[in-house]
Structure 1
Amino acid sequence: MLLLAVDTATPAVTVALHDGTSVIAEESQVDARRHGELLLPAVDRVLAGAGMRLDAVTDVVVGVGPGPYTGLRVGLATAVTFGSVLGVPVHGLCTLDGLAYAAGLEGPFAVATDARRKEVYWARYADARTRTGEPAVDRPADIAEQLAGLPVVGAGALLYPDSFPDARAPEHQSAAALAALAAERLAAGGEFLPPLPLYLRRPDAQVPKNYKVVTPK
């Protein structure tokens, strides 16, 4: 088994290889505006660092979000393309699940990432492997009471300390954690999400409702 994991749902452009036992190579760069530019070179470097070729990959794992439209689709399109070219399965995982797994907390906690517009993408967890509800997007102040007393993992917690006073690491997503979680689920016969984007809200760009009528003179 050789898993290639990628995630671009957050400002982190992150790639990892997992051989079914452990992570053998990984790379992450935080740059919210250069996902498309950074991802493929990162894949090349991770493969080279592990001494592997792309055609050795048996499974592709991709974070499906939630995340902003532009960044999220870079990782998904790349993962689906790799899967098609290589003829291997593409497994989707919630990006928040990767952060929860990386945090490794035992008791109840939450994960929150930056959703921009003064909002966060978030979800609650019973432990590092068990999400207890569907991901959502909300203003921090609107969910502060629900999460009172809980540790909150991720960049969203660090951005809004008044709402999430017990912020915890990691701040950014790690494909290494995503790959390790996927390897566990594959070994246990667990379920995955389809490699489709989890946006939770409409994109910023909208088709105008009313077009201006231009008549020839």
Structure 2
Amino acid sequence: MLVLALDTATARITAGVVELGEGGPVTLAARDGEGARAHAELLAPAIAEALAEAGRTRRDLDAVVAGLGPGPFTGLRVGLVTAAAMGDALGLPVHGVPTHDAVAAGHDGRLLVVTDARRREVYWSLVADGVRTHGPEVTRPADLAARLGPDGDLGPVDAVLGDAAEQVGAPAGVPGPTPAGLVAVAAPALRAGTVPGPLVPLYLRRPDAVPPGAPKAVTRTS
């Protein structure tokens, strides 16, 4: 099964062509790079380059997998709209998976996944041996750090993954999801031929832009 995997929930652009066989997902080609405020400009070229490197076309694809976030509104929306449009145009199933689950895929132990939420906050999830036990949530880095370790309610973790690891005092590590990680999370549904539900983004908070309010009344003075 040939799968296009993409994610724009973080400051990175992730796109790749993955072969899902009995032995698990194998990445044939991938593009992963910085694109914090240029997701719309960079995602389509990244997809085209990955397909070309893999020697495949869009017509060869059997499914699309997209990261659902959590992530900032604009970047995350770009990836999900692109995935939905490709699925509709090509008649392909589009499976959404939590981005934090994909970051943790392939790693064992108790893992804290932390990604940048901007506004001096982070998104976080706790994953234990492939199962998410907490989150995703959004909070301040200092508040999250206080909950870790022997005295915190979340307890100790074996590793901190994600592009905001340093914000909670951990070494920089895995910055974001890989195409193979995204497909690994969706693999049971892909293999079972499950009809995917709608793509529901994990924004976790309202967008910055809001409709303007009613104009204020002007008081006339003489």
Q: Do the two structures share a fold, i.e. TM-score over 0.5?
A: yes
User: CA separation in 1, counterparts of 2:195 and 2:59?
Assistant: 25
Q: Give TM-score, length-normalised by structure 1.
A: 0.87
Contact 2:144 2:168 in 1 (8 A): no
1:4–1:17 Cα contact (<8 Å) kept: yes
Q: Which amino acid aligns with 1:177?
A: G
For residues 9-158 of structure 1, what are the structure 2 equivalents within 5 Å?
Answer: 9-21=9-21, 22-102=26-106, 104=107, 106-127=108-129, 129-148=130-149, 149-150=156-157, 151-158=159-166
Secondary structure of the equivalent of 2:20? coil
Q: Is the 8 A contact 2:145 2:168 kept in 1?
A: no
Per the normalisation by structure 2, the TM-score is: 0.85
Q: What is the number of residues matched between the two proteins?
A: 207
Distance 1:55 1:147 in 2: 47
Following TM superposition, by how much is the alpha carbon of 1:184 offset from its aligned partner in structure 2, in angstroms?
4.9
Output the CA distance in 1 between the equivalents of 2:193 and 2:139: 33
Name the CA shift for 1:180/1:17 in 2 (closer, same or farther; >3 Å).
farther
Larger Rg: 2
Deviation (angstroms), 1:18: 1.3
Q: CA deviation at 1:188?
A: 6.2
Match in the other structure for 1:203: 207
- Greater Cα offset, 168-177 or 114-123: 168-177
CA contact (8 A) 2:93 2:196 kept: no
Q: How many Å separate the matches in 1 of 2:120 and 2:58?
A: 39
Stretches of structure 2 lacking an aligned partner (at least 5 in a row): 150-155
How big is the shift at 1:47?
Answer: 0.7
Change over 3 Å in CA distance of 1:168–1:188 after alignment to 2: farther
* SS of match in other structure, 1:132: strand
Helix, strand or coil at the partner of 1:123: strand
Q: Percent identity?
A: 46
Q: Gaps spanning 5+ residues in structure 1: where?
A: none
Q: Which runs of 4+ in 1 moved over 4 A?
A: 188-193
